Chain A
Amino acid sequence: MSIEQGDRALPQAAGGAVAVRPRLDWPDEPRLAQRNPVSAWLRFFASEIRLVFGRPRNLALLGVLGFVPVFFGVVFRLTISSVDGGGGPPFLNQLAGNGVFLALVVLTVMLTVLLLPLSAAVVSGDAIAGEAALGTLRGLLTVPAGRTRLLAVKYAAIVVFSLAACLLVAAMSLVMGLILFHVGQVTLLSGTTVSLGAGVLRVLAVAVFAAAAMASLSAIGLAASTLTQHPVGAIAGVLIVTVASEICDQVPQLSAIHAYLPTHYWLSWDGLFRSPTDWSGVEHGLVSFAVYAVIFGSIAWAKLTSADVSS
């Protein structure tokens, strides 16, 4: 079957491009303007932030995260006498003495029972796969948003969401601690006492550290998100990785790999509550988070920039 070339005015396209000068005669756009790439990036980023924080499902997620400190605060207030002296999460014993510790208890619980990892998984797993499932990915790419640029904007928005989630939990916990418990000077684990303001600052530092942990988990989610068109698959994948990592971290026979597990350093911030501050746990954690973010960010980039988008 050969091509019938019906019109003599239409020569067969030769290998090279036929030069067509772009028409630049539009009154309000004299040329394809070279906009400032930084402000253009920020505009796209602001749009992504509006999308992430405007999505009803994500708002519901934040609502749940904000409610959990209220729930735990009330439960601990009612049962504080019975937990006295043993068991329970770390810092629970200090809670009766100072409501500031509620934030630490709640952050620990929410990291270990997967509430914070779940929210990071939902937002990151949905990032690319969700756009693919909706079909909006092809729209963004033909704009063209640029594949690398899209990924950078997506990840930046995910990091902001993680930070917002952790700070929200810490802030709600501090407020509940203030309402339900005695609040005053904070006695650190090393026995020294610092002012309430310094104690609150340390709590916020813990929240930022937790956000960094979630940001690194989100990089895994982002990579998973580029591998599938089904957001649920990517989200489940992240949660499986999290659970598997936490289980391995509990098995003494696997102690050789514990330091390399993505969840190993999630709670290694207790050095912040010593005097002088012991930074080693925090430093190890941040390095581990950064390594995971770089590795899985690279996987996401390699996959998205080479993938056929046929959704």
Chain B
Amino acid sequence: MSLSAQLAGAIHASTETDAGFAVTSSGLSKRFGGGQLAVDQIDLAVPAGSVYGFLGPNGSGKTTTIRMLLGLIRPTAGSHAMLGLPMPGRQADALPLVGSLVEGPAFYPHLSGRANLTRLDAADATADAATARRRIDAALARVGLLGAADKRYKAYSLGMKQRLGIATSLLRPRQLVILDEPTNGLDPQGTREVRALIRQIAADGTTVFVSSHLLAEVEQVCTHVGVMRAGRLVYQGSLAQLRGQAGLLVRTPKPELAAQVLAELGLAGIRQGDGADQEVTAELGAMLPEVICERLVLAGVPVAGLETPRRSLEDEFVELTGEGFDVD
């Protein structure tokens, strides 16, 4: 870990106690001119420092929500705040601290990647012109585009365009980064790179709000998730919570003895497998599997296998959204 990262980490830890929510909303709704209710009374609570996966099928209202959060479109009802500042009233104060990529990258095709970033930095009334060059090069280096910085945007590959889009959110230190479908159209390698970038951004203490219609793409980096379905927020909470409690499965030739030990340990939901399969299952609770294993062995239970199975997230999501995630 570099010195600056250590420093940032230490300072972050000290401020963590007063950390609240990077994004909050109350009854936020958007009805478009045609009468279509795109977002229906959502109450977001994105904890500061989290990586919040904003999930839902295509057309479930994710991008409309993000546009409302950033003040691009007006909600028809409800309110929201970013970094504790009410929007859109205080957006001039809040938005410089928020990096964003909305609905795919969009740049001037005849300008180079660097010139495009320079343009956006020049538009920022709070950015320091004296450090622009250094900050722009740092952002390009972070997304691995420094080598292609002077190539015209129209010559970029889709992955490079997407990375330049992420670079705009890194032009200056941010407290919140909002990425709308950052992996859209990327190959598996590109998707991995974006995930690594999200991890890096989050490691600096920045809250990351990332939307996706593909659960598998963000599952590995998220600490919290919100799930949209047809304009409504149907679930919001930590990923661990969504996964639910892990179970415990012990394979042993002496299932009765094992069940007895587990009961002594106070585990709930103990069940012995039927007949020949010689399995005992229980809810893991707060107990560590290695502790359980040790107790079983000490009690003379021959442990042939011990697992802590979890319900698949995919199953949870299908249940919440009523359909498979990749509906295409």
Contact = CB atoms under 8 A, between A and B. Distances in A.
A and B held together in a complex: yes
Interface of A: 1, 3-7, 9-23, 25-29, 32-35, 37, 39-41, 43-44, 46-47, 51, 54-56, 134-136, 138-146, 149-150, 306, 308-310
Contacts of B173: 26, 29
B4 A308 contact: no
A11 B21 CA distance: 10
A30 to B, nearest CB: 11
A40 B92 CA distance: 14
A277 B128 CA distance: 49
Interface stretch (B191-199, B236-244, B259-267): B236-244
A130 to B, nearest CB: 10
B84 interface: yes
Interface string B23-44: 0111000000000000000011
A136 B107 contact: yes
Interface residues of B, number: 76
Contacts of B44: 13
B216 interface: no
Which one of A41, A138, A144 has the highest number of Cβ atoms from chain B below 10 Å of its Cβ? Answer: A144
A136 B117 CA distance: 11
A1 B232 contact: yes
B67 A310 contact: yes
A136 B153 CA distance: 13
Nearest to A28: B131
A44 B123 contact: yes
Contacts of B92: 144, 146
B202 interface: no
B227 to A, nearest CB: 9
B175 interface: yes
Interface of B: 4, 7-8, 11-12, 15, 18-22, 24-26, 43-45, 47-48, 67, 70-74, 79, 81, 83-86, 91-93, 95-98, 100, 102-104, 106-111, 118-120, 122-129, 131, 168, 172-173, 175, 205, 224, 229, 232-238, 241-242
A6 B24 contact: no
A21 B18 contact: yes
Contacts of A12: 43, 45
Contacts of A16: 81
Contacts of A17: 24, 81, 84-86
A55 B86 CA distance: 38
A20 B82 CA distance: 9
Contact of A43 (B73, B110, B129, B131): B129
A130 B79 CA distance: 31
A108 to B, nearest CB: 34
Contacts of A309: 67, 72-73
A9 B47 contact: yes
B128 A308 contact: no
A22 B123 contact: no
Contact of A25 (B8, B81, B83, B111): B8
A11 B43 CA distance: 10
Contacts of B102: 138-139, 142
Given A13-B44, A138-B103, A308-B72, A56 B22 contact: no
The 7 A-B residue pairs whose C-beta atoms are closest, nearest first, are A6-B237, A135-B106, A17-B81, A47-B122, A6-B241, A13-B24, A308-B73
Contacts of B21: 13, 18, 20
Contacts of B8: 25
7 contacts: A4-B234, A20-B20, A20-B48, A20-B83, A44-B125, A142-B98, A308-B74
Contact of A23 (B12, B24, B47, B125): B12
B120 A139 contact: yes
Which one of A3, A20, A33, A144 has the highest number of Cβ atoms from chain B below 10 Å of its Cβ? Answer: A20
A146 B103 contact: no
B73 to A, nearest CB: 4
Contacts of A27: 4, 7
Contacts of B131: 28
Contact of B237 (A10, A26, A34): A10
Nearest to A13: B24
A40 B172 CA distance: 16
B15 A56 contact: no
Contacts of A55: 110
A138 B72 CA distance: 7
Contacts of B43: 3, 12-13
